[in-house]
Chain A
Amino acid sequence: MARIGVFICHCGENISATVDVAKVAAAAAKIPGVVHSVDYKYMCSDPGQQMVSSAIKEKNLTGVVVAACSPRMHEPTFRRACAEAGLNPFLCEMANIREHCSWVHEKGEATTNKAIDIVRTLVAKVKKNKALLPIKVPVTKTALVLGGGIAGIQASLDIANSGHKVILVEKEPSIGGHMSQLSETFPTLDCSQCILTPRMVEVAQNPNITLYSYAELESLEGFIGNFKARIRKKARSLDEKLCTGCGLCCQKCPTKKIASDFDAGLGMRPAIYVPFPQAVPNKPVIDREHCTYYLKGKCRLCEKVCPTQAIRFDQADEIVEVEVGAVVMATGFDIKHGDFFPEYGYGNYRDVIDGLQFERMASASGPTLGEMRRPSDGKVPEIVVFIACAGSRDPAKGIEYCSKICCMYTAKHAMLYRHKVHHGKPYVFYMDIRAGGKMYEEFVRRAIEEDGVQYIRGRVSRIYERGGKLIVKGADTLLGARPMEIEADMVVLATAGVANPGAEALAQKVHISYDSHHFYSEAHPKLRPVETNTAGIFLAGACQAPKDIPESVAQASGAAAKVAALFSQDELIREPLIAVVDRQAPPLYSTCVGCFLCQTSCPYQAIEKEEIRGRDGQLIKTVAKVNPGLCQGCGTCVALCRSKSIDIQGFSHEQVYAEVLALLNRGESDV
């Protein structure tokens, strides 16, 4: 005979303000099987939990219903209290009378009655609950880090240095990401490559890190602690073991005029190339879209000059399968380009450039060797206009958010320009200056006060070209919004930071959620900023939202700490809320008829075939069996099973029917 205890929480006034909790407790006491029913101001407090555990002991309870908030919040709390009092934790249920009742209804009798109904259903359910044991699964102590920019590099190094294996996958031929393209970094103006390349080398040398560059994730299956990843290593068209990185092939390649992605289109590269001199690994790839041999079947000059015979024209992509316990998404971001702006010339004016192009122009390793030379004619620009919020904070263009990094890099750009062209005139059109960060405001003031950058508060309406000059039509809203025109030699657009083009497809591949702009969603905006809603997958850097280097690095270290904490356990404990296939005594053995519709429908490949054999070893029947390590308890198989042979533990047919019946039959017993 069931002996159920019901505990009604006031949640301060969150519940008691609209629900008559004393009445709920009294009504619950009358439900058959309930032997104990009380209400209390804060059930989750220590004295509240004490009330639960002492009632279990004193009244010898066989089940507990806590009528309070959502189970997401305090189910673990009360299940722990039950376990401490000797009751199997899965015999404790939460009746959500806050989110589902008190918060969404007015004070009144109907609200109280609804709370009673909710309690009644859970009492009916808990009577059918069975004691369950948690599932233990092993943890593969290898992390997969996707993306080899500064965030991925930092996360990889931190995980590797805490003693765990890391597989780092980068889609470009070299790690380094956008940071390797930058000239100098705010607010200290230290050289980006100078601080980044030692980290890149560290990655290459760390024995715990396996680097797959020029590679992409093909698929990811499994769950926390037990993922299986397939990685496509794109064909570099050379044998990496033989290649010494001497660079002779790149020098001799006859196809040299390919716009370099690394130089943001401002510089050229050959068809066989290393993106930049400090690349890690320092091994070239052949760009098959532009290589003469792949296009016309002739050339093979690189093959002839290679001293180690490392060129492999017939190399195919390779798929590598790895098992990992955790994944860090560090796939970074992209920026909008000039063609996004009809009013700024649709990207047709060569001297209207974006922020990354300016970085390459200002970089000592860039196409102009760090000299300020405008793309159209190579002249030193005397007047440069910088436009902040180009595309950001612009709902008409579909981007309502602030890209966060532009205020700072625009101040830096204007400053760098002034350092390189002493007589030059930098003007910045801005809407607000958002310089929240350590030494950031000071940096912007320095640009204005020491480097003479002129800030004009207003958004540019239009840019057009006339006689080799770019006419910038703006207004200063601090001067009565008077319109003004600047005849500039070059314009730098601080274009919006956006998600990578492949971000959405990748998110779907690894089953994580993302926002309407395809930035990856954190599990909680404040309290779980480096986790995703998918257990075991973490976030680092600008794939979550535009962010600067210090923030990306901090988040990467945070993600690494989460991974290390996960890897500190040998086994993971999982809730046993999984599917089970019916088993019976002979001669039936199981109601399962072996149609295996469940197997084809299972999204987690958790259903296996089991052969039931007699003592003589003869096959009696083949039935479905659930692998408890893989099952996520989604219930798809339960819904599809034609013979109703599959049930979800904790949400069995019997339990759910009991809940429904409790509502349908309420008139007969009470209220």
Chain B
Amino acid sequence: MSRGPVIQHDRQVLAERILEQTGVDVARCYQCGKCSAGCPLAADMDFPPSQIMHLLQLGDFPEFAELALRSHTIWLCLTCEICYCRCPMELDIPKLMDVLRYESLAQKKINPKAKDIISFHRAFLDSVRTTGRLFEMGQVIDYKLRSGHFLQDLLQAPWMFFVGKLHLIPERIRDRRLLKRMFARTLKAREGRP
């Protein structure tokens, strides 16, 4: 039988890294639940925001921090800022979610349900990396290749083209080399890809 979570004192807990990087002290959260009450997607989350905060508060038990990193929540968060706006403790939860996403990516603990969302983000940034701007059509095709949702929204494209919203040729900025360097030193460097 499982003995339940075990305390580990010898590692820097996630909450401390969050405090360092964002100034958000999870210990200040007193679990009032106002963030979860106002979150537009709380009902879709595996752990609504107040529970994410509690998982981090109990960060001495690494299993709990792990649950936060593996959660669907961190990818569902829309950064709509309503939780931060209403938090009585003025905790910047959206900013904290950013750090959880970075940690989740770095530790390869991505929730399988978040695959589509991340594919979309990657497709978006790939477009920006190569052209400097978002090339909507290119991005959508890229996303479809990554996600496998080939048929979804297929009927939107002709309409968009028809009303003049869809360009077939990407706009490119002049200093695309700088953009490449910026990506190389940030996202790509962290993900260990060229």
Contacts and interface: CB of A to CB of B under 8 A. Distances in A.
Most buried by B among A396, A457, A461, A476: A461
Given A458-B36, A482-B48, A475 B88 contact: no
Interface residues of A, number: 24
Contacts of B32: 389, 431, 458-459, 477
Most buried by A among B36, B82, B86, B90: B36
Given A477-B33, A480-B51, A397 B42 contact: no
Contacts of B82: 461
Given A396-B87, A482-B48, A459 B34 contact: yes
B37 A475 contact: yes
Given A475-B37, A481-B51, A395 B88 contact: yes
Most buried by A among B36, B37, B87: B37
Nearest to B31: A477
B89 A460 contact: no
Interface SS, A side: mixed
A397 B50 CA distance: 19
B38 interface: yes
Given A461-B38, A480-B48, A481-B50, A475 B33 contact: yes
Contacts of A395: 88-90
A474 interface: yes
B151 interface: no
Nearest to B39: A483
Contacts of B102: none
A343 B86 contact: yes
A462 interface: yes
B37 A483 contact: yes
Given A393-B88, A395-B90, A461-B86, A481 B42 contact: yes
Interface in A565-609: none
B88 A482 contact: no
Interface string A389-419: 1000111110000000000000000000000
B119 to A, nearest CB: 28
Interface in A468-485: 473-477, 480-484
Contacts of B33: 457-459, 474-477, 481
A474 B37 contact: yes
Interface in B27-60: 30-39, 42-43, 47-51
A482 B49 CA distance: 10
A222 to B, nearest CB: 44
Contacts of A462: 37-38, 86
A481 B34 contact: no
Contact of B42 (A394, A457, A482): A482
Interface of A: 343, 389, 393-397, 431, 457-462, 473-477, 480-484
Given A458-B36, A461-B34, A483-B37, 13 more contacts: A396-B90, A431-B30, A458-B34, A459-B32, A474-B37, A475-B42, A475-B50, A476-B33, A477-B50, A477-B51, A481-B50, A483-B36, A483-B39
Interface of B: 30-39, 42-43, 47-51, 82, 86-90
28 contacts: A389-B32, A393-B30, A395-B90, A396-B87, A396-B90, A431-B31, A458-B33, A459-B34, A459-B37, A461-B34, A461-B37, A462-B38, A462-B86, A473-B37, A474-B37, A475-B33, A475-B34, A475-B37, A477-B31, A477-B32, A477-B33, A477-B50, A480-B48, A481-B50, A482-B48, A483-B36, A483-B38, A483-B43
